[in-house]
Amino acid sequence: MTELLEDTTRASASRLDESGRALLFTQARTANSFSEQPVGDAELAEIWELAKWAPTAANTQPMRVLYIRTADGRQRLVQHMNEANQAKTLSAPAVAVLAVDTDFHEHIPTVLPFRPELKDVFAADEEMRADTGRFSSAIQAGYFILAVRAHGLAAGPMAGFDAAALDADFFPDGRWRSILVVNIGYPGENPWFDRLPRLDHSDVVQWA
């Protein structure tokens, strides 16, 4: 009985408390303006160090991150953003361009050492490689946003940009392909839009 109680206590202690859930989910919002408070290289590095631990298909980890902090880099990026996203991107102290590495399979001997032959399987099947890359990089993008929030920063994810033009500018060798742009910083003036409704439990969840 004592061991059972100890196990239960450990499990309860490891559960994210209400403030943690609010930070990541229930009170978190997409920021649309940012303050001038800078975001340092160490903070940006820590975001990835946290996000990298979440699962992907066969541990392939196909998502890549380009951090843009300089004024020149931001001006280059803004010209590829939809007009509605330009001002908020200019106001962000840091921006992450999330991309999929189309040759992610080259790292399989490192990330999946007990199945190194899977590298050749992906190399021979372009469609499977593309599907796996899209799926796993998409869920990694979600992890990345949560990692930004976990560091006390606001994230402004955006899909409104000219991906082909952005890729030609920042990833000219064609190996990386952008999937999402995420503004990162501390909230500025009037940063939040009204929260939009979420679907009800009965519309989403089934039981079997």
Residue pLDDT, tens place only, 104-120: 999 999 999 999 999 99
Distances (CA, A) of 186 to 27, 155, 189: 15, 9, 10
Cα–Cα distance measured from residue 87 to residue 160, given in angstroms and rounded to the nearest whole number: 13
Which CATH number does 34-186 carry?
A: 3.40.109.10
Q: Fill in the DSSP letter of residue 187.
A: B
Q: What share of the chain is helix, strand, coil (3-state, %, to 5)?
A: 50, 15, 35
* CB 66, CB 99: distance < 8 Å: yes
- E strands, the chain, are 63-68, 94-101, 154-158, 176-185
Rounded CA separation 6/148 (Å): 33
pLDDT at 48 over 60: yes
In residues, how long is the chain? 208
pLDDT at 132 over 70: yes
Residue-wise pLDDT for 61-120, tens only, equals 999 999 999 999 999 999 999 999 999 999 999 999 999 999 999 999 999 999 999 999
Of the candidates 72, 68, 52, the residue with the CA atom closest to the CA atom of residue 60: 52
- C-alpha triplet 55, 172, 102: angle, nearest 5°: 30
φ/ψ (deg, to 5) at 151: -90, 10
Tell me the sheet residues that pair with 180: 98
- Mean pLDDT (the chain) is 94
